[in-house]
Chains A and B, each alone.
Chain A
Amino acid sequence: MYERPTTVDAALSLLAKDRWTVLAGGTDFYPALRDQAVTEPVLDISALKGLRGIRREGNSWRIGALTTWSDVISDNLPPAFDALKLAAREVGSVQIQNRATVAGNICNASPAADGVPPLLILDAAVETVSSRGKRHLALADFILGNRATALRPDEIVTGILIPAEIAQGRSHFVKLGTRKYLVISIAMVAARIETGVDNRVTGASVSVGACSVVAQRLRGLEQALIAKPCDDSLAQAVLSAHLAHLSPIDDIRANADYRAEAACELVRRALLGCLT
């Protein structure tokens, strides 16, 4: 069974009646099949009207649920989104970026999702709807674990909301992998810095991906950065203790000790990347 409604209402009424696997870009759905054919009912939301693109709505930025990574790359956005744009270029390949959606990346909830760290530093919230109504969840509350989210079976994500007052300052993103293209992260870091008139840090947010089941903010470091001069010395403020709450694992891509050490270095580089 396959349906491709054109309105959110039509999609929600289908979801209210039956269980569906929701598909947008398809770039996570098909690989997960491995050698099996599609047998489950598929609700293809790619034709839903009004869900594609990034726009300012009052006090928020809205990334529509059907916005692709290529849309993010080509959109004209403030520098606070630079981390997201850099991450967009690291999602799979051009072929993937042209189909895969930002919302799909968070719904897939991979520990190595490239989109999550740059959205975390923007205090992103996820807007979900069902026939019962709308919900807004902080991204950190939406992703519950490895491949697990708070999305209910009758809901779809309609957008990602970013508070305009948070979308300030400059940001950067660094990803570490074993090859250049088409690579799953060993570790990745997004950072955002706001500065005051005296070029001291007035706000900072930093997140690390692929070093815990869900990407994490480094709140301790963010506090420690406040009021620091916004120059090369920022790197020295980064201590391994700031990453102590992460839980990197040993896997085929790297061992845990290396991940922890590399993540620390990537945090320094991401912060320095915000300076230029």
Chain B
Amino acid sequence: MRGLEVSFDLNGTPVRANVALSDRLSTTLRDHLGLVGTKVGCDAGDCGACTVLIDGAPCCACLVPVGQAEGAKVTTVEGLKSTGTLSRLQESFLHFGAAQCGICTPGMLVSAAALLQRTPNPTRSEVTDALGGVLCRCTGYSKIIDAVVHATGFNSGDVSPPVGASVGAGIRRLDGGPKVAGTEAFGADLTPDDAVIVRVLRSPHHHAAFAFGDIAGYVDCHPGVLAVFTAVDVAGRNCFGVIPPFADQPVFAEKFVRYRGEAVAAIAGERAAMKTLDLDEFPITWEPLLHVLTPDQAQSEDAPRLHDGRDRNVLVRGYVERGDIAAGFAQASHVVEGRFSTPFIEHAYIEPEAGFARRVGDRIEVFASTQAPHMDRGTLAEILALDPTQIRVVPTACGGGFGSKIDISLQPYIAIAAWHLNRPAALTYSRQESMQSTTKRHPSETRAKIGCDETGKITAFEFEGTFNTGAYASWGPTVANRVPVHASGPYFTPNYVARSVAVHTNGPPSGAFRGFGVPQSAIAQECLYDELAVKLGIDHLEFRLRNALSNGQATVTGQVLAKGVGITACLDALKPAWERAKSEASRFNRQTNGSSLRRGVGIASCWYGCGNTSLPNPSTIRMGVSPDGRVVLHQGAVDIGQGATTVIAQIAADALGVPVHSLDLLGGDTDLTPDAGKTSASRQTYVSGMAAKLAGESLRRKILRHANVSSDARILSKHGCLELVDGAVVTSLDLSRLAPDEFGYVFRGEETYDPPTKPLDEKGQGVPYAVYGYGAQIMELTVDTVLGTVKLDRLSTAHDVGRAINPVLIEGQIEGGSAQGIGMALMENYVPGRTENLHDYLIPTFGDVPVVENIIVEVTDAEGPYGAKGLGEHVLIPTAPAILNAIRDATGALVRDLPATPDKVRAAIKAIRE
């Protein structure tokens, strides 16, 4: 039949599909041929996740009409395996840690396979050229390059650490196999065939009143559309928020919307009808209202008030005061001051929000990409007016989160549709929808004033930060509270005042994004530190060392850490790199004198408190021995690519005393696994890791006590029994003789850990966190002073992780987090209505990250498991200020409004020459 059937060779097998031939090849592969290994990240050729080979040539399957596949040979990630095993390339990705969340991995693998076909031993630059069209938001690309360059020459086989030595071993990710095989199931990969498809109608205006027309008539005249849901269909509370006292966001807006992209209705129907549905025909009339997009506008007298009771649109203020600020400045011999700004920043995970829900009797089950399954459960219970026990949340593989997937997004829409229609209901956000509607990093306007004495000791630090929290609260209060606690940086600051305010605007809700406001405040602090060092004529690293916080000194909240303050160790570790970088830069600048190129070196530090700020933040981990002798770890710390699945298992294995690879892992299904809290605030290794350590130790004690053997006994798991080897004595426990408990286990260890923090008083004094992590980074870069372009040459990092549970995963966090810092410094700028796609909103590509050299510093923490500290957010914080400091070092130019795009760098260079 003309125009309806296509046949081609798919991974060596002839296939036929009856589809519209103008459909995207990616759609046919996923929806009609059942191969969901090909991922869709943008539907616009901007991300390369959907890369397949057509007759051996890589192309974006989202840009190819399936009609063009007629007679062609199409290879997807599923076709890379040979005879059922991973190819060398796939194993290399696993070996080098090249897959984190795994959503870009199929596109990377397919592109790399095409390269290796013609160039078996590629150079690093050949790899970046060949893979440059595929974006990764997790890894920072270095490990992907390693994996491709060494695809034919690495030692295959994983490290299998002996009992008691899992902690510290750079084992491969335990969940990595499916990620490199292309079989990992992300939110969009599980849609049941009989699911109805949900689409969400969203506001095209920043602020508008609206009225629905004849919705019943609309449903009647659109065959295949089954139902439209609006605020009246929310059985429970049409209001949600991650911090219950501040909850203010409706599932569906009522009467008016507060931001562009806000949901007003959801339409559910059969797949074919929904695909071609033109949402512009929906019966709704809009009346645009005056809107405000900046805190300045929002705080003015005549600005619209977004929420009752929030005067001048102020959501919340934060404050920390220590010492005597006036006296501190009076002591100062040098004072610097500056204003800085940053824009909205988009998380830009390659997986847009996706999932499906189904009704099972009087329960609802939600399978979706999330960072916080138990929080999702509680929120959905309120929205649906169900008991939390009636909600089951099953986290799918999460294709990147970075903070945004802590908040709910699509979950209520699929749950409401599935509940009312009694059919599975699925929804996959488009890239534009994801960018418009989900949370962002808070835009910031900061001002800081810092004074130091003749010896270079900081005497006073004053900070003010205004954060644009967008239309709804989300994590705005957290940002406002975290920033004043952290704005001093990891330095002893005796006299200190820091004020922050989160202001509502008609922008998208600002929420959690790797660092919760601290990356923004660190820019002000670290850039002004450099200016002080310049004034004093002191080496910039030495200046930081003179002020570095040490054990026994009070932080700006008056907290005294007796042990584990690692900033000095990080700065010391970087000294050789610093000296080399400075001398190489001056040699380069001498040799190229007169050219437009100037090389510079910049340094910046970070600290970051792990877990909630002075609030309860528990994790529970359950381990059990089943009657057949399996040791099961219920691991509820969602792995969004950072590696919690592997790290928590390493800790649990050592605590129990079994090989890590012998553990049976269960994920975060809320029906099966206790709450390990949300994946945020760099808390999983520390908090859930502590719970895992306690659970493993508890389980070990119970087993050993039951067997009446010494605490040194080794536990060997055999089929149906446990053997306890205590010196020369072997005791065998026949598990079939023991009564299983309510969870089916004959032995169980289940422990909860909550960080010991203390509330902050009205001056912000107290113990906000039990554990902090520290770090410092050096960026070497070259500025083209005529064009204002910046080329990053090398990044040297030193991060204090307390104890490196898995060094390979730690490097992955550092490289990936710093790549996000690079994006923040040089290119990222979310403008509502303007950069709602991945070609106008730029994130770093393979060609924008430098060579990275990492030093892992281990200053044992007093509290964390095996001395470990959190890391995930720390790694992003120093990168942007190190870049700005290096630009200043190279050129003298002060860039204070991010991103430092070429036009701004050039303008700053001209400003100093005029």
Contact = CB atoms under 8 A, between A and B. Distances in A.
Interface of A: 1-4, 23, 25-27, 29-31, 33-39, 42, 44, 46-47, 70, 92-96, 98-99, 176, 178-184, 186, 252-255, 258-259, 261-262, 265-266
18 contacts: A4-B67, A4-B68, A25-B63, A26-B68, A30-B45, A37-B276, A42-B22, A44-B65, A92-B133, A93-B45, A99-B59, A179-B827, A179-B848, A183-B842, A252-B834, A258-B902, A258-B903, A265-B787
Contacts of B907: 258
B795 interface: no
Contact of A184 (B23, B432, B826, B839): B839
Given A99-B59, A181-B133, A27 B840 contact: no
Contacts of A176: 787, 789, 902
Contacts of A179: 826-827, 842, 844-845, 847-848
Contacts of B450: none
A70 B67 contact: no
Contacts of A31: 43-46, 63, 837, 839
B820 to A, nearest CB: 14
B132 interface: yes
Contacts of B901: 178, 253-254
Contact of B433 (A35, A39, A181): A35
Given A31-B44, A38-B23, A98-B57, A26 B844 contact: no
A2 B845 contact: no
B48 A30 contact: no
Given A38-B20, A94-B132, A254 B60 contact: no
Given A37-B275, A182-B46, 20 more contacts: A2-B20, A29-B63, A31-B46, A42-B65, A92-B45, A93-B45, A93-B134, A95-B48, A95-B59, A96-B45, A178-B902, A180-B845, A182-B839, A183-B845, A184-B839, A186-B902, A254-B901, A258-B902, A258-B906, A261-B906
Interface in B130-153: 130, 132-135
Contacts of B293: none
A252 B831 contact: yes
Nearest to A37: B276
Contacts of B844: 179
Given A1-B3, A2-B65, A44-B67, A178 B842 contact: yes
Interface of B: 2-3, 20-24, 43-46, 48, 51, 54, 57-60, 62-65, 67-68, 70, 111, 128-130, 132-135, 275-276, 278-279, 430, 432-433, 786-789, 826-827, 829, 831, 834-835, 837, 839-840, 842, 844-848, 901-903, 906-907
B822 to A, nearest CB: 10
Nearest to A68: B57
Contacts of B63: 25-27, 29-31, 95-96, 99
B241 to A, nearest CB: 27
Given A3-B3, A182-B845, A254-B902, A265 B786 contact: yes
B616 to A, nearest CB: 41
A226 B132 CA distance: 39
Given A252-B835, A258-B788, A262-B902, A46 B68 contact: yes
B388 to A, nearest CB: 34
A255 B51 CA distance: 34
Contacts of B275: 37
Contacts of B54: 98
B432 A35 contact: yes
Nearest to A33: B43
Contacts of B846: 180-181
A262 B787 contact: yes
B3 A182 contact: no
Nearest to B27: A37
A178 B64 contact: no
A178 B840 CA distance: 11
Given A182-B132, A182-B845, A262-B902, A96 B829 contact: no
- 3 A-B pairs closest in CB distance: A93-B133, A180-B847, A181-B132
B2, B43, B63, B67 pick with most chain A CB within 10 angstroms: B63
B353 to A, nearest CB: 14
A265 B432 CA distance: 36
Nearest to A46: B68
B432 A96 contact: no
A182 B57 contact: no
A35 B204 CA distance: 14
- The CB with the most chain A CB atoms within 10 A, among B2, B786, B834, is that of B786
Nearest to B596: A265
B909 to A, nearest CB: 11
